[in-house]
Amino acid sequence: DSGGGAFASLSPVDVLCRLSSNVFSITDQEMKPVGFGLYLRTAAANHSCAPTATVTFNGNTLEMRANQPLRAGAEVLIGYCDLCRPTKVRRADLFDSHHFLCECSRCGPVENGAAGSAGNSGEVGGEGSGEG
């Protein structure tokens, strides 16, 4: 073991790509970006367009709060994109920024495997299954 941990066998480009997909944009009270931060526990949360939790900032302190009561052991899901946008736009944004096609309960299955495929009309569903 070279002591490099999980990133030891990765190229510098691979490490930067993985980090860039897991940083959070720190915003002020007006939702204007003021910086970036890597929050390891929150970075482990998967995506859903019908999230079970919301991420906000108090200064540079990340706060994650449940949107609804959660069962013990339930997966905590957060939104990686602007959830007010139409399904097609959310999917394209997620594909560009996080390199996956969202198939959460709100988006529905991807048709023809395209990032911009039409999904549901955008209604909010239950627990999602997006991954990031």
Name the region of 34 (left: φ>0; alpha: ψ -120 to 50; beta: rest).
alpha
pLDDT at 99 exceeding the cut of 60: yes
How many helices, marked H, and strands, marked E, lie in the chain? Answer: 3, 6
Predicted confidence (pLDDT) per residue in 82-98, tens digit: 999 999 999 999 999 88
Confidence of residue 7 (pLDDT cuts 50, 70, 90): low
For range 7-36, the mean pLDDT: 78
Confidence of residue 4 (pLDDT cuts 50, 70, 90): low
**From CA 55, how far away is CA 9, in angstroms rounded?**
32
Place of tokens 């996956």: 100
- For a pLDDT cut of 90, what percent of the chain falls above it? 37
**Token code pair at residue 114:** 């395209």
pLDDT at 125 exceeding the cut of 50: no
For range 114-128, the mean pLDDT: 38
**From CA 37, how far away is CA 25, in angstroms rounded?**
7
For range 21-49, the mean pLDDT: 83
The residue with greater pLDDT, 123 or 80, is 80
The residue with greater pLDDT, 79 or 113, is 79
- Which residue in 82, 78, 88, 81 sits closest to 127, CA to CA? 78
The answer to whether the beta carbons of residues 111 and 118 sit under 8 Å apart is: yes
